[in-house]
Amino acid sequence: MRTPPGGHPPQPPRRPPAAGHPAAGLPQYQQPGPGYPPPGYPAYPGGPMGAVGQRNGMGTAALTVGIIGLVCGLTYFLWLFAIVLGILAIIFGSIGKGKAQRGEANNAGSATAGIVCGIVGMVIPLIYLAALDAAIDSAF
């Protein structure tokens, strides 16, 4: 028997189910076209079924919140947000670095950058507030 160009041997014709059979009203499954494997083959190793991804969410969150906190810290009237976001960036970054050290994540650099941005984003408003306090004290 000769194999068609798609590489799969032809399937024998199927009998339609009997009138009282449960599958009588269901549409019949059609074979995939050439180039597709028949159904039932296992997934490739490392494919979507067996892949265990890295959990990089905390490092990414630390960097994102740290950058937003840094921008809020540079803007004088958002100093309260900068301090809150800086604290969150330090917490998320510390958790992200712990995951990276345990091998659960691979973005230790992002977590470290988030911690640094969070610290700087918290320090800048404190400098602003200290300068404002000194200016008010010297004026009165």
Q: What angle do CA 96, 100, 106 make, to 5 degrees?
A: 105
Residue 137's alpha-carbon distances to 62, 124, 133, 134, in angstroms, are 37, 20, 6, 5
In angstroms, the Cα distances linking 70 to 52, 73, 81, 86, 135 are 33, 5, 10, 8, 24
DSSP 75-104: SGGGHHHHHHHHHHHHHHHHHHHHHHHHTS
Q: 9 or 99: whose pLDDT is higher?
A: 99
pLDDT score, position 30? 65
pLDDT of residue 50: 45
pLDDT value at residue 63? 95
Q: Which two tokens stand for residue 74?
A: 């540079």
How many CA atoms lie within 13 Å of 41's alpha carbon, on the beta-carbon side?
8
Amino acid at 104: E
Question: What are the CA-CA distances from residue 125 to residues 74, 82, 92, 99, 138 (Å)?
Answer: 7, 7, 20, 30, 20
List, for residues 81-139, the tens digit of each pLDDT value. Answer: 999 999 999 999 999 999 999 989 999 999 999 999 999 999 999 998 899 899 998 88
61 vs 45: CA distance, rounded Å: 30
Distance CA 75, CA 91 (A): 22
Q: How confident is the model at residue 34 (pLDDT cuts 50, 70, 90)?
A: confident
pLDDT tens digits, one per residue of 42-84: 555 555 554 456 788 999 999 999 999 999 999 888 989 999 9
Q: What is the pLDDT of residue 81?
A: 93
Write down the pTM of the prediction: 0.60
pLDDT at 122: 93
